[in-house]
Chains A and B, each alone.
Chain A
Amino acid sequence: MISKMTNMCVYVLNQDSAFDFYTNKLGFKVKMDVPMGANARWLTVTPPEQPELEITLFPVAVGRMFSEETVKLMTELISKGTFGPGVFSCTDIYATYEELKSKGVEFVKPPTKEFYGTEALFKDDSGNWFSLYQQ
């Protein structure tokens, strides 16, 4: 029986810039940063209060997993904001919004009261968008 999700993957266009975005802007903690040859590293971060969920910041690069054509297609799709990998929750959405905005994070939607809670939408440095949510 499956019990938990421990690791999920967000495809990013540049690992260095994603590292800066997720740690310095979102305030996530680095869990693993293991060099894997000259051009790759195994880079995982965790939300500040959820050390058991590792988010792997995986580079979209030509290799065994992605062909050149796939990389081109994925780069285009990610850049134009096709993918929304998840929802982050916070205790105070207005304070979080103000902080992230002042750090230059791009919001697609400001905090808005919906019937299910208050929600905002922001993009990471690659173009992946996330929901920021407060119940």
Chain B
Amino acid sequence: MKRTIEQYPKVYLYKRVVQAKLFIDSHYAENIELNNIADEAYFSKFHFIRLFKNIYGKTPHQYLTAVRIEKAIQLLRAGQTVSEACYAVGFESLSSFGSLFKRTVGVTPSAFLEEQQKMKVQIMNTPLMFVPGCFAYQHGWSENSNFEIVP
């Protein structure tokens, strides 16, 4: 017999943990107190962390750090400086940002920024390097075209 969503186990627990995750997604740049999130979710801190980790594979704190690093990547790609990105995503010190970034991404924020800038120049100069040939061909995009749509 089919079971639908209405019957899935402990629906209210899921809703609270999901709300906590979404809270982190939108307030990552602020000084988030994870105890407060557990309180808002009406859980004991221990219970909350365990449920969160079961669902997302990371503790709330690990998840918050991952979101901050991901947002920093986006800001660096958009051309912000390392310190701008660091403070904009909620880190309080450049050194902890630098070491967490390197642990996650594999390179320092400044090396990442440099790579991105080089890539941007390459994209500007040779955009077709970044598009599979089949699509470029079907669209009539050639090395010398200006990418206008040709009916």
**Do A and B assemble together?**
yes
Q: Please, what's the 1-or-0 string for A64-103, where 1 marks a CB less than 8 Å from any CB in chain B? A: 1101000000000000000000000001101101110010
* Residues in chain B within 8 A of chain A (CB atoms): 2-6, 8, 11, 14-15, 17-19, 21-22, 54-57, 70, 123, 127, 130-132, 135, 138-141, 146-151
Mask for A30-58, Cβ within 8 A of B = 1, else 0?
00101111111010000000000000101
Query: For the complex, is A111 an interface residue (Cβ under 8 Å from B)?
Result: yes
Shortest C-beta distance, B12 to chain A (Å), equals 10
A interface: dominant SS: mixed
**Can you identify 9 A-B contacts, CB atoms within 8 angstroms?**
A7-B132, A35-B127, A36-B139, A63-B149, A64-B151, A92-B54, A97-B5, A98-B15, A112-B2
Total count of chain A residues near the partner, CB < 8 A: 34
B5–A64 CB distance below 8 A: no
When A and B form their complex, which 3 residue pairs have the shortest distance between CB atoms, in order from nearest? A37-B147, A110-B5, A63-B149
- CB-CB under 8 A for A36 and B18, given A112-B5, A113-B3: no
Using a CB–CB cutoff of 8 Å, the interface residues on chain A facing chain B are 7, 9, 29, 32, 34-40, 42, 56, 58, 61-65, 67, 91-92, 94-95, 97-99, 102, 110-114, 120
| B149 in contact with A40 (CB, 8 Å) | yes
Distance between Cα atoms of A64 and B127 in the complex (Å): 19
B138 and A114 contacting across the interface, CB-CB below 8 Å: no
B residues in contact with A67, CB < 8 Å: 151
B4 and A61 contacting across the interface, CB-CB below 8 Å: no
With known contacts A94-B5, A94-B11, A42–B55 Cβ distance under 8 A: no
Measured CA separation A91–B53 after assembly (Å) = 12
CB-CB nearest in chain A for B134: A7
Are B149 and A98 closer than 8 Å at their CB atoms?
Answer: no
| CB of B40 to closest CB in A, whole Å | 15
Cβ of B135 to closest chain A Cβ, rounded Å: 7
Q: Which one of B55, B135, B150 lies within 8 Å of A95 (CB-CB)?
A: B55
Q: Which residue of B lies closest to A103 (CB)?
A: B22
Find B141's partner among A9, A32, A36, A56 (CB 8 Å cutoff).
Answer: A36
Whole-angstrom distance between the Cβ of B74 and the nearest chain A Cβ? 8
